[in-house]
């Protein structure tokens, strides 16, 4: 298989959406393309998917707790942020988008976001009413002005049974966007 992402370090932030299970497929596909995937899961994400799943697929430890710094003296969120070529948050909930937009850092992922100086790609997944709420739209606009890129969400049947916009963008589309972003960054250097 073509190793188009060989040598690239991608932090995959996974948040508490029912779409969190798709992070396993995303991790697998990115690793097959040669990327080193460092999974980071919020506490809410762990209600939908176990860290062991992503750890096995990524062959990397999964960061889950800002206060679990047993490996060395340097805080993990700082070390990961400094090494990252891309921060991908998929799925991203309205809560995490709000934390990012407002500079809140209550956990590992949001603290890492504030440290990251690499490109950021956010793939939202939530109920349509949450996605279209003026607060969420304002938070998305704020993050876009700060350089974050978004992919999705798409329309379709939502986990709650509603039809509308809010589904996580298809995994293959997210992977294609990651490849495109990292190629663009390489060309800009």
**Residues annotated as part of the active site:** 160
Contact (CB, 8 A) for 80 and 112: yes
Interatomic CA distance for residues 123 and 167, integer angstroms: 9
Q: Hey, how many other C-beta atoms are within 10 angstroms of the C-beta on 38?
A: 24
Q: How many CB atoms lie within 10 A of CB 75?
A: 16
> What radius of gyration do the chain's Cα atoms show?
15
What six digits make up the tokens of 119? 């490109």
Is 89 within 8 Å of 119 (Cβ atoms)? no
Helix (H, G, I), strand (E, B) or coil at 47: helix
């Amino acid at each position: 298989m073509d190793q188009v992402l060989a040598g690239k370090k991608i932090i995959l932030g996974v948040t508490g959406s029912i779409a969190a299970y798709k992070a396993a497929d995303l991790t697998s596909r990115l690793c097959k393309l040669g990327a080193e995937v460092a999974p980071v899961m919020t506490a809410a994400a762990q209600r939908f998917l176990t860290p062991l799943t992503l750890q096995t697929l990524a062959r990397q430890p999964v960061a889950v707790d800002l206060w679990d710094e047993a490996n060395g003296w340097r805080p993990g969120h700082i070390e990961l942020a400094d090494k990252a070529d891309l921060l991908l948050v998929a799925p991203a909930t309205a809560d995490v988008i709000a934390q990012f937009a407002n500079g809140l850092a209550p956990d590992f992922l949001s603290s890492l976001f504030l440290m990251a100086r690499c490109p950021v790609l956010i793939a939202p997944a939530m109920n349509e009413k949450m996605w279209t709420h003026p607060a969420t739209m304002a938070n998305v606009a704020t993050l876009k002005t700060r350089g974050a890129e978004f992919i999705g969400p798409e329309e379709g049947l939502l986990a709650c049974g509603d039809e509308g916009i809010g589904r996580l963008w298809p995994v293959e589309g997210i992977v294609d966007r990651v490849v495109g972003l990292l190629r663009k960054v390489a060309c800009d250097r």
